[in-house]
Structure 1
Amino acid sequence: MATRYDVAGAQGLFEPGSNESVLANKLGIVSQADIDEAELVLLQKLYESVLRDHLPAGRISINHLKTWHRRWLGNVYAWAGQPRTVNMSKGGFPFAPAAQVPRLMGDFDRLYLCKYTPCMGFGEEELTEAIAVTHVEFILMHPFREGNGRISRLLADVMAVQAGHGPLDYSCWESNKQQYITSIQQGLGSDYEPMKYWVRKVLETA
């Protein structure tokens, strides 16, 4: 009998032998610790490439984000760089329905990336708003099957570097995780002030 999950295709599959704890991958990895390590090593390479060699000289587009995601995880997952096709939630909080993701990605490009990038010449408050709004809207959209938090932070780092800062230290977000998550959720009503507080905190040390 068909279910609504059939449309997920490869994104709905887990690696055989992983007890449904690791997504189906090209490397045959079945351990969560091993897949985490592989993703981390590849993420470090992506950061070096983007921030050192391929920093966008102009506005950042949704195609940049797809390319970063594909370059990061393309050797691990067949669907890297593609819009999410499964519904996802975290801690009981649902992200945007998968069926809406392609449209939302276009909206994100047009309404937020067009407005808030590039960040060259931005003052502190202008940069704070730009990073806060784009971060909240990206996380609520959750466009990819995996790695949304890390791509959203790379986006924030690129925006910060465009404005003359260094990459950001997100340790205060990690140590105040519930407050950070709450600030994301408050963005559902276009209230970005809570997220601006956390962006100011990371900009203080950049």
Structure 2
Amino acid sequence: MSRYDVTNSEGDFQPGGEEGVLRNRLGLTRKQDIDDAETELLQALYEFVLSDSREILTFDDIKRWHHLWLGNLYEWAGSLRTVNMSKGDFHFAAAAQLPRLIGSFEQELLNRFSELSEMDDEAVVQYLAQNHVEFILIHPFREGNGRLSRLLMDTMVIEAGFEPLDYQLWEDNKDFYFKSIQAGVAGNYQYIECLVRDVLEQQV
């Protein structure tokens, strides 16, 4: 089964590939081969992004990261998805709403990136939590949103003076994590704030 349900034709999947393998430039048909390729490319992206100092952060930067990461695999890398997506009964933002939601995300959150170094720890927690929830709810890309959201988070924590985070706690509490994301639909970020606070405290 695919991790997500998508309202599109089967043409987006690799002909002759295992179930859930998306159509790709390399003609890979095995899920393990796709996973390995994505993981290797993501590591290279991390090294590039986290070594690059910046004063501002825009959504165009995030689109560029996505293209740098998956451009060798997928034609649509770096482009906003054009299909609706859901996970179980939970629906992410409708594709038609992405430009509007991304505009608000950039104006209300990304534009405050330069303030991170001046925030106290609790303000950092709140900022990171809201950024993460809203990015996941928007789910801007066809693939890789969760992993890219962590790169975005790590870029922000470095700007705030911390080291990249260990997300094992989130992996160990996936049900609580996903319920925390769902709570964010109503603007309730307290649960994801707990998870962010916990991983930051592990560093200390």
> TM (normalized to structure 1)?
0.91
**SS of residue matched to 1:119:** helix
Give the distance between the partners of 2:67 and 2:116, measured in 1 at CA. 24
Structure 2 counterpart of 1:46, which letter?
L
Match of 2:4 in 1: none
Match of 1:51 in 2: 50
The CA deviation at 1:89 is 0.6
Residues 12 and 188 (structure 1 numbering): CA distance in 2 closer, same or farther, change over 3 Å?
A: farther
Query: Pick from 105, 124, 129: which aligns with 1:132?
Result: 129
Give the distance between the partners of 1:205 and 1:186, measured in 2 at CA. 24
How many residues of Structure 1 are paired with residues of Structure 2 in the alignment?
Answer: 197
Matched residues, percent identical?
Answer: 50
Match of 2:3 in 1: none
Unpaired stretches in structure 1, ≥5 consecutive residues: none
1:27 aligns with 2:26: yes
Give the distance between the partners of 1:191 and 1:123, measured in 2 at CA. 21
**SS of residue matched to 1:205:** helix
The CA deviation at 1:85 is 0.6
TM superposition outliers: structure 1 runs of 4+ over 3 Å = 115-118
Unpaired stretches in structure 2, ≥5 consecutive residues: 1-6
Give the distance between the partners of 2:41 and 2:151, measured in 1 at CA. 13
Give the distance between the partners of 1:172 and 1:133, measured in 2 at CA. 18
The CA deviation at 1:23 is 0.6
Superposed, which structure 2 residues align to 1:90-105 within 5 Å? 90-105=87-102
Structure 2 counterpart of 1:13, which letter?
D
Match of 1:179 in 2: 176
Please give the per-residue CA displacement for 1:7-33, whole angstroms capped at 9, x wherever unaligned: xxxx96111111442111001011111
Q: Contact 1:132–1:196 at 8 Å: present in 2 too?
A: yes
Tell me how large the CA RMSD over aligned residues is.
1.6
1:189 aligns with 2:198: no
